[in-house]
Structure 1
Amino acid sequence: MSAGTYRNPILYADYSDPDAIRVGADYYMVASSFTYLPGVPLLHSRDLVHWEIINYCVPALPFEKYDRPAHGSGTWAPSIRYHKGEFFVFIPLPDEGIFVARSKDPRGTFQLNRLCESRGWIDPCPFWDEDGKAYMVFAYARSRCGIKHRLALAEIDPECTGLRGEPRVIFDGTQLAPTSEGPKMYKRNGWYYILMPSGGVATGWQSALRAKDIQGPYEYKIVMHQGNTAVNGPHQGAWVDTPEGTDWFIHFQDVGELGRIVHLQPMCFQEDWPFIGCERNGDMIGEPVEEWELPVKEALVCRIADSDEFENGRPGLQWQWQANPKETYFAQKRGPKVLRLACLANGERENLLWYAPNVMTQIPQSAAFTAEVKLALAGDEDDGRTAAGDGDMAVLGMTGHHYAFGGLEREKDKVWLRLYEGFVTGKEFEGEAMEGLVFSKEWKEKSPLWLRMELSENKKFSFSASEDGENFCPVGPAFHLEKGTWTGAKLCLWACNRRNEPSGGWGEYDYIHISHKTER
């Protein structure tokens, strides 16, 4: 990479359906998070290339359904806007309606209200016009309402608390743009613009609509496609400008097992149409760039944290649960500089990772990495539960439709190093899964385990173990990575009782250290 340039992707991480804005010299970006909570991560940058997580817009979802995993449901593609000194994040729950999270402080608490109850309305974006009226453009989810190729516009009250009238369809892409979704509305030089992805996530393209009247009629044009590049389906994103007046477009690329990674493209206008990327083959449609000049002259480097020392006995901002967060996920006996996760039972269902709400996950930040934890099993009778017992387990693993995890498990007054493999057959909501033991070896009672998990660029991951943190030996087979439901595979920590019985035990994690084999 040359001095003064950046390379795509800017984030090799599953921040799917990104939307971004500029406020002064600061950039803010939100992304989907589905069943993983707290939801809708809020990222910050000063140069559009380097990002850090600063908050979540949805601490928890106000429905009992999300106290359990709801794979494929939850918070879908959000949008973020800044209006009259306040941040507004429009968030679709495809089964419950459109919600609005708002805060005057991006690092503060966001308040959540339901704009409207609906099923199958997705990808909403607000727009405040010069005449004081406010609108919301949105798409439809075929999985919920049988429609996937229309955009609709609804007038809303300017405070974003309800609709003002019924929505009307402003674009039907049945022939031109099947699977029209992710609309983002803007205005420039008297033109209303809607930027939207078309044609589907894996093989689609980026489209634009424009009209002189917000109600239409809208003209249609393809403004970026894969062309001769390796960036499939350049898809769904945000137009952002700089204080100097240059224009940029943030979007994602679906890379399968690790989800939807984030790219940044140069953008300009040609005869009042947006042009995204770089023209390469004479068709006058932009193609994604691999390398380009930095949006600002001097890069302002920050990184998304992934390693964690658990300094205050709690996980960092990079972690999300597989359902609504609860204090019961932690052992009642806290300790500084150590994370204690309660070895919980799972109520009515088998205690499988796919079903468990208390799985603690984070988004991998590169295509190949090594994660190392130091963990132990512990427990006593002073926390109101029964003592630590048979079935208690503390693990490190990877989620997905084919998943695996390893760690220490207590059985018959002995402790074992074990690996389990899981297969998901029902991929929506709690779904259906099965797990099997693939490796078992007795471990010394009360001895910690240093466990490494290595993910290679060939999309396979494997485990190795150590008794001293220095000498590691491979354990078990290699596992093939698979994505989850609408997400990439995620790194996870989990403590549970495999016998699905109440326990006073916990898994104790001193740290997780993550090193990357590819450039971040």
Structure 2
Amino acid sequence: MTTLSANAVRATTYVLIAMLCAALSASAQSPKTRSWAADNGNGTYSNPLFYDEFSDPDMIRVGPDYYLTGTTMHTMPGLPILHSQDLVNWRIIGYALDRLDLGPDFRLEDGKEIYGQGIWAPSFRYHNGTYYIFANVNRFGLQVFRASDPRGPWKHNRIQQGLHDLSVLFDDDGRIYAVYGASTIRIVEMNADLTALVPGTDRVLIDKSLGMGEGSHIYKIKGKYYIVSAVPGAHVPMKCARAESLAGPWEVKTISENESLGIGQGYRPKNFRRPTPPFEVTPPNPSESLSLTLHQGGIIETDTGEWWGYSMQDHNAVGRLTSLSPVTWVEGWPYFGLPGNLTRTPSLWVKPNTGRTSAVTSPYDRNDDFSGPKLQQVWQWNHLPDDSKWSLTERPGYLRLHSLPAPDFWLARNTLTQRAMGPESIATTEVDAAGLKNGDAAGLALLNLPYSWVGVSRREDQFALEFYDQRAGKPIREALAGTRVRLRVHCDFDKDTARFSYSANGKEFKDIGPELILAFQLKTFQGVRFGLFHYNASGAAGGQADFDSFTVLEPRSRGLTQPIPAGKWITFSDLSSGNRLAAVDGKLLTAAGAGKASAFQVVDRGRGRVALRTAQGQFVSVSGAGKSGEVVMKAGKPGDAETFQWVDLQRGDTLLLSLVTHRYITAPKEPGPVSADHPGPAPDRKDGSCFTWKPAQR
């Protein structure tokens, strides 16, 4: 009997994963939808809208078209412009900012950097035929971008004073205001051409005693002023302030809170904001008190009169993710969530009715064979690049990076990055390192803090395969026969782990280094990024590295991780206790032991909704007034009371959302009657609302 080594097993696993992903990409998905798409293809969507970093979102509608931008910090180009006609399927159409050179720290020169600074918290607006984006740059004031077409070109001017997390309002009387600040909300008037603030107009708008936060979004709706904001932090609610006039008085309500989408806190460095070696990391904590709640966003009205909200969540190492929520107006307040379950955003829901339909698509084309005249729009440089030191034409079909001096990867110029993808992604590149000179290192990296990379280095005229993990602080080197090698990193953002590997023959991949822990930190203020790099650690410019291709495979690129088993008979088990669902004496119960489980036939009700029928022909039903959470068995044709939105939480967990209560079926801790009154899954998913299912034995 032959025993395979751990490396051999992993190598075989990598090959099988790659083959599977390639087959799925070829058969089930078009080239433009190989990456994460929120559209489930059945009239529903799954959160997040994008399973990669998209923080501080702001959105506008112009006629039937929706446009979205967000924070990009130190990456160039910055301020991506995404376009949609249904609020679910988005495509990038350009950037508002190609370059922003405000000194050596923007260029990673003289040991300086702007990690976690640069462009952040933009305000997107449209007024009288012009698109505007307003955003701060630390120490360099307020930046104003404007264009007649969101695809550009964009013009830029600067206002010296910075306004923290601002939002701009073009009021009905022609005056222009910016609200800004944290806790205490201030307001200032801007001049007509948006080149300066009007002296003497800056004042407190809402005192901190009312409990408002940062990330303001101001609107004027039916003559009233609304400001949506988030209390600072990751575990916080969203607030809304409302007034008849800017003079006040202001009322404040909580419009979104406690929604974690079943995500708990992952790895965190102990020095949370500015981690430094030795990078002590605290383990994951899924407790309710540290729930990573949706926060900081805004609201938007569709052409058809529907209202929707968007907000972000600190989704651990993959970064801050943007989600979409139905908005329910109650007594003039725009609550995130559905009637009966206000302030809670559903993980999966019916797509907005915008009056337009769109094909299922993803925001970016992530793969690049570097054969085009330009880089794919998904790419962003880490800080400002030196354009004389990279090329797509010096060697056609390759990205050539000339090395520049740097002490380490953190300060390496011309590192080309794109956001890492959740929930799972496998990035692979092929590099020809024959042109490296002594002191050079080139390869594939995870840009984070701590960072890590695998690549080829040249020392004393010897080439080596090298792995470096900043947390460990010591390189691992292996002999390399040739200079052409494939490099790979496999990230699992459910577990926040990653592993690097390489292939010298282009077929079998061999692990190098240990499994890595990926932490979420606020030094870069971004999630993990894939990076292609080349630098010289000897203090001088070195040689050249040629990258032949870059691909990202996503084994789980859809919110519905497995098809809804329509027409099939299945059994349900509570994820926390293992107890099964059973129909007994006209009620739905949880019962201990496999023998007491009931089989339910899944009846398709359209738009991702189902009814559950027993062998006796009864349906699971949520009872009416006065007993809105009681679940019974009922004969006859299924209606809304017997219909549930099938919710896939993307880790093998299924929830059943009642169309009567807009709350979830929940199993008690001990065997007994279930209810349909649970607001949403807990971060650890062990609150009785999450179930696993399997085919029934019949």
| Shorter-chain TM-score range | 0.7 to 0.9
How far apart in 1 are the matches of 2:210 and 2:251?
14
Matched, 1:171 2:206: yes
Structure 2 residue aligned with 1:137:
179
Residue 191, structure 1, aligned to residue 224, structure 2? yes
Could you say what the CA RMSD is over the residues aligned between the two structures, in angstroms?
Answer: 2.0
Match in the other structure for 1:259 = 319
Number of residues of Structure 1 aligned to a counterpart in Structure 2: 479
Hey, what's the Cα distance between the residues in 1 that align with 2:519 and 2:377? 24
What is the CA-CA distance between 1:2 and the residue it aligns to? 7.9
- Picking from 423, 434, 439, the partner of 1:391 is 439
Task: Give the equivalent residue in structure 1 for 2:598.
Answer: none
Aligned to 1:367: 423
- Tell me the equivalent position of 2:188: 154
Q: Which residue of 2 aligns with 1:89?
A: 133
- Given that 1:223 and 1:274 are in contact with CA atoms closer than 8 Å, whether structure 2 keeps it comes out as yes
Matched residue type, 2:176:
A
The match for 2:508 is 471
Tell me the residue number matched to 1:214: 246
For residues 270-298 of structure 1, give each alpha carbon's deviation from its aligned partner in whole angstroms, at most 9, with x where no partner exists: 221112113556xxx42111111111474
* Matched position secondary structure for 1:436: coil
- Partners of 2:358 and 2:148 in 1: how far apart? 27
8 Å Cα contact 2:243-2:251 kept in structure 1: yes
Please say if 1:489 is aligned against 2:528: yes
Amino acid at match of 2:107: D
Question: Equivalent of 2:464, from 416, 420, 426?
Answer: 416
Question: What is the identity, as a one-letter code, of the residue corresponding to 1:458?
Answer: K
| Residue identity matched to 1:189 | K
Contact persistence 1:181–1:197 (CA under 8 A): yes
Alpha-carbon distance in 2 for matches of 1:44, 1:2: 19
Written as runs of structure 1 = structure 2, the 5 A alignment for 1:446-457 is 447-456=483-492, 457=494
**Which residue among 163, 170, 176 is the counterpart of 1:128?**
170
- Distance across 2 between alignment mates of 1:414 and 1:516: 35
Other-structure match for 1:101: 145
Gapped runs of 5+ residues in structure 2?
1-39, 264-291, 559-698
* Counterpart residue number, 1:202: 234
Asked whether the equivalents of residues 18 and 252 of structure 1 are also in contact (C-alpha less than 8 Å), the reply is: yes
Query: Is this contact kept in 1: 2:498–2:515, CA < 8 A?
Result: yes
Q: Is the 8 A contact 1:28 1:45 kept in 2?
A: yes
Matches within 5 A, 1:290-439: 290-296=347-353, 298-303=357-362, 304-312=364-372, 314-330=374-390, 334-346=394-406, 350=407, 352-379=408-435, 388-423=436-471, 435-437=473-475, 439=476
Letter in 1 for 2:328: C
Shift of 1:240: 1.6
Instruction: Write out per-residue CA displacement over residues 111-166 of structure 1, whole angstroms, 9 at most, x where no aligned residue.
Output: 11112324xx3111111111111111112xxxxxxxx4111111111321111124
Shift of 1:336: 2.1
- Residue of structure 2 in register with 1:17 after alignment: 56
State how far apart, in whole Å, the 1-side matches of 2:210 and 2:250 are. Answer: 15
> What letter matches 1:416 in structure 2?
A
C-alpha deviations, 1:37-57, integer Å up to 9, x for none? 211121112211122222111
State the Cα distance separating 1:467 from its structure 2 match: 2.0
Q: Deviations over 1:315-372 (max 9, x none)?
A: 32111122123303415962222101111113xxx2x111223221111232211111
**1:374 Cα deviation (Å)?**
0.8
Query: Is contact 1:313-1:337 (8 Å) kept?
Result: no
Q: Does residue 513 of structure 1 match 2:551?
A: yes
Cα 1:339/1:235, change in 2 over 3 Å: same
CA distance in 2, matches of 1:300, 1:25: 16
> Given residue 419 of structure 2, which amino acid in structure 1 is its aligned partner?
I
Q: Is the CA contact 2:66–2:85 (under 8 Å) kept in the aligned structure 1?
A: yes
Q: Secondary structure of 1:458's partner?
A: coil
- CA distance in structure 2 between the aligned counterparts of 1:39 and 1:463, rounded to whole angstroms: 29
CA contact (8 A) 2:392 2:398 kept: no
Correspondence 1:66 to 2:106: yes
Structure with more contact order per residue of length (Cα contacts < 8 Å, sep ≥ 6): 1
Amino acid at match of 1:500: G
Q: Does the 8 Å contact 1:18/1:250 carry over to 2?
A: yes
Larger-Rg structure = 2
Aligned equivalents of 2:41 and 2:344: distance in 1? 20
Q: Give the partner amino acid of 1:397.
A: A
Q: Contact 2:445 / 2:531 at 8 angstroms: preserved in 1?
A: yes
Measure the CA separation in 1 of the matches of 2:211 and 2:513.
50
Once residues 527 and 251 of structure 2 are traced to their aligned partners in structure 1, the CA distance between those partners, rounded to angstroms, is: 35
Counterpart CA distance in 2 for 1:241 and 1:356 is: 44
Structure 1 counterpart SS, 2:545: strand
Q: Given that residues 186 and 204 in structure 2 are in contact (C-alpha distance below 8 angstroms), is that contact kept between their aligned partners in structure 1?
A: yes
Partner of 1:39: 78
Task: Give the Cα separation in 1 of the matches to 2:541 and 2:261.
Answer: 54
Normalising by structure 2, we get a TM-score of: 0.66
Q: Which residue of 2 aligns with 1:116?
A: 160
1:442 aligned partner: 479
Structure 2 CA distance for partners of 1:229 and 1:408, relative to 1, 3 Å: closer
Letter in 1 for 2:190: I
Instruction: Give the deviation of 1:268 after TM superposition.
Output: 3.0
Alpha-carbon distance in 1 for matches of 2:83, 2:392: 33
Residue 404 of structure 1 deviates from its aligned partner by 0.7
Are the structure 2 counterparts of residues 335 and 216 from structure 1 closer, same or farther at C-alpha, using a change threshold of 3 Å?
farther
* Distance in 2 between residues matched to 1:221 and 1:94, nearest whole Å: 31
Deviation readout 1:161-181 (Å, 9 max, x if unpaired) = 11112411111234624xx11
CA distance in 1, matches of 2:339, 2:47: 17
Deviation at 1:515, TM superposition (A): 0.5
Give the gaps of 5 or more residues in structure 1: 140-147, 380-387, 424-433
| CA deviations over 1:409-445 (Å, ceiling 9, x no partner) | 112222111101114xxxxxxxxxx9431x2112124
- The answer to whether the 8 Å contact 1:4/1:298 transfers is no
SS of the aligned residue for 1:354 comes to helix
Higher share of residues assigned helix = 2
